[in-house]
Homo-oligomer: A and B are copies of this chain.
């Protein structure tokens, strides 16, 4: 029923750090990313070519990509908000990202508040980005956020997620090469939500071809990941030690912690390629940088 191997994309350096208040130096980010890629994850989302005016934590994307160790075979992706971001990424030449991530939502309100554009407008912005990525033979990772619920509008009808996926496919996203990454942005999902989601989208995006991005706000992320694995999902985003929780709420969880997902999978006999001891080194490094305990359970129990 379920895959014998799970592919993990480590999103701590991008989705994690962009939600942290602390300023981290380029040296420290590069060291963090190198430790992550040494752990055996398949992919690391290393930064975002968004304006430093909007996300000051990630204003150093060029320097990060110039300096990280690329010898490991790990795929390094970067988020780009628009053509300008893609130009910055491509200007890095052979140090450019291996994959380009773009961002839309299944919630109209979230899309407008988060990107100042309707869903339709974000998809229009993708067109030239997708065309140029294809010309450059760069694979794409298309995020669809709010696939279960929106912080403003509440529950999201899975049929709307299906609609956005169908439009991404129409735009040329090719899931044999590109990723469609389904974001449960606010951490409210339970396993039945994951069932309903994959039931509704299965004819346009089979579980085996999707990536799932979970947040552990209410402790349900791992149960949802387990249900997704039962349904055939074999690709997940996760964040080292659960990085990315709100720094103003002690104990608040962020992304699904990579260590928790790796522990679950490996103990069930499903390989991830990740060595927990190596990942703990990355978690200890970033925990020291942020000067706080991170929420990942396995990290706290065995790695902290």
User: A residues touching B (Cβ–Cβ < 8 Å)?
Assistant: 187-188, 190-193, 216-220, 222-223, 225-227, 249-253, 257, 260, 263-264, 267-269, 293-298, 300-302, 304
Q: Bound complex: CA of A204 vs CA of B218, how far in Å? A: 35
Given known contacts A192-B268, A268-B192, A220 and B263 CB-to-CB distance under 8 angstroms = yes
Question: How many copies of the chain does the oligomer comprise?
Answer: 2
* Contact yes or no, B217 A297, CB < 8 A: yes
Q: Whole-angstrom distance from the CB of A188 to the nearest CB of chain B?
A: 8
Residue pair A296, B263 in contact (C-beta under 8 Å): no
Docked pose: A85 CA to B252 CA in angstroms: 40
The smallest C-beta distance from A296 to any residue of chain B, in angstroms, reads 7
Q: Which residues of B contact A222 (CB under 8 A)?
A: 219-220, 222-223
Q: Which residues of B contact A263 (CB under 8 A)?
A: 190, 218-220
> Are A251 and B192 interface neighbours, CB within 8 A?
no
CB atoms of A217 and B264 under 8 A apart? no
- List of B residues within 8 angstroms of A252 by Cβ: 300-301
Interchain CB contact under 8 A, B192 and A249: no
A296 vs B220: C-alpha distance when bound (angstroms): 11
4 additional A-B pairs beyond A193-B267, A249-B301, beta carbons within 8 Å, are A217-B301, A219-B219, A219-B257, A223-B264
CB neighbours (8 Å) of A293 from chain B are 250-251
A264 shortest CB reach to chain B, Å? 5
CA of A170 to CA of B193, assembled, Å:
43
Q: Given A219-B260, A223-B264, does the pair A300, B251 have CB atoms closer than 8 Å? A: yes
CA distance A187 to B269 in the complex (A): 18
Shortest beta-carbon contacts, A-B, top 8: A219-B297, A190-B267, A219-B260, A223-B223, A223-B226, A192-B268, A251-B300, A222-B223
Contacts of A223 in B (CB 8 A): 222-223, 225-226, 264
24 interchain pairs (CB within 8 A)?
A191-B226, A191-B268, A192-B267, A192-B269, A193-B267, A216-B219, A217-B301, A218-B263, A218-B302, A219-B219, A219-B257, A219-B263, A219-B297, A220-B260, A222-B222, A223-B225, A223-B264, A226-B226, A226-B227, A249-B300, A249-B304, A250-B300, A251-B251, A251-B300
Tell me which residues across on chain B come within 8 A of A191, comparing CB atoms.
226, 264, 268
